[in-house]
Amino acid sequence: MAQPSQKIELYNQANEQAAQIKLDHVSKQFGGTQVLKDISLTIEQGRFTAIVGKSGSGKSTLLRILAQLEQTSSGQLTFSGTDENSTTMMYQDSRLLPWKKVIDNVLIGLPKERTEKAEEVLKAVGLWNYRHAWPYKLSGGQQQRVALARALIRKPSLLLLDEPLSALDALTRLDMQQLIEKLWKQNGFTAVLVTHDVQEAVRLSDRVIMIEDGEISFDIPIRAKRPRSLSDSTLIQIEHEILHRILQRT
């Protein structure tokens, strides 16, 4: 397993409450199937980490453990620099309630007194003009922007992204990548992205980790400066290296 050889420069200023996460020999079993095997990993405060791997590799289970939606079978998960409950998650589908307008979807679980803040985060994701629209009136990309606003209103110390862009068309996906990167840089939270898209992982993250058969098979730092271009030769080289490693294990 390749390990980063030096500390990676951060291109955003980490929020003081941003999460630092440590997994110490974490394993997870479902019945007789071991999904994660002895994972030891530290995710530093304010860092953007991407996790890649084939379907069934264990990457989504790892994300659910970070979200505390699953308990570890063994090992320890610890958070520092934050209240561990200030974690929000975006999924592949927006999970909007169709009987609530956009602003009310952002406010789910919060008092009406937060309406002004909901308007602020909708403005941040470019949807202020749609705050009183019904979800069915929005495109898929716009619905995911609402989901992002719903995550941001809680001022997360840790934002977990479970393939939230995989159902979008290529141009909308690129637009959303740029928006997520912009808001991460502005807010300084820690972000962990699970994705099948190696280009997306390299484009957004400071570090790409591959999970294979429940284990970390490699761990590569991405030191390219931001903002990043898809035509950047450094990024293309890193993307090819990761794809080569994945294909070697196919």
pLDDT along the chain (250 residues), means of 10: 40 72 95 93 95 90 93 92 74 95 96 93 96 96 96 93 93 94 94 94 95 92 86 89 78
Tell me what pLDDT residue 10 has. 44
- 248 with 128, same domain: the answer is no
So what's the pLDDT on residue 46? Answer: 93
One domain for residues 137 and 185:
no
Omega prior to 111 cis, within 30 of 0: no
Output the domain CATH number for residue 66: 3.40.50.300
The alpha carbon of residue 215 and the mean position of all alpha carbons in its chain are separated, in whole angstroms, by 19
| Backbone angles phi and psi of 65, in degrees to 5 | -65, -40
pTM score: 0.90
Q: In this structure, are 225 and 143 located in the same domain?
A: no
Nearest C-alpha neighbor of 68 from the set 43, 96, 95, 88: 88
pLDDT at 4: 40
Structure tokens belonging to residue 132: 């009183």
Same domain, 70 and 53: yes
User: Which tokens hold the place of 19?
Assistant: 């999460």
Q: Are residues 143 and 162 in the same domain?
A: no
Task: Let me know: does 115 contact 50? Beta carbons within 8 Å.
Answer: no
Q: Which domain range does residue 217 map to?
A: 15-86+156-229+244-250
Q: Which helix (H) or strand (E) holds 86?
A: none
Alpha carbon distances (Å) from 129 to 119, 122, 125, 169, 202: 10, 9, 11, 23, 32
* Angle made by CA atoms 147, 153, 159, in degrees to the nearest 5: 65
Same domain, 114 and 210: no
**112, 75: one domain:** no
Query: Distances in Å between the alpha carbon of 226 and those of 8, 32, 174, 244?
Result: 13, 44, 15, 24
Q: How many domains does the chain have?
A: 2
Q: pLDDT at position 3, please?
A: 41
CA angle 111, 184, 182 (to 5 degrees): 110
Pairing label, strands 20-30, 48-52: unpaired
State the residue for tokens 């429940």: 214
pLDDT of residue 8: 37
- Model pLDDT, residue 249: 65
- Residue 2 in any domain: the answer is no
54: exposed, middle or buried (Cβ count in 10 Å: 0-12, 13-18, 19+): middle
Residue 6: predicted pLDDT: 37
State residue 175's pLDDT score: 94
Do both 55 and 34 map to the same domain?
yes
For residues 109 and 85, the answer to whether their CB atoms sit within 8 Å is: no
Same domain, 19 and 73: yes
The one-character DSSP state at 114 is G
Residues 197 and 100 in one domain: no
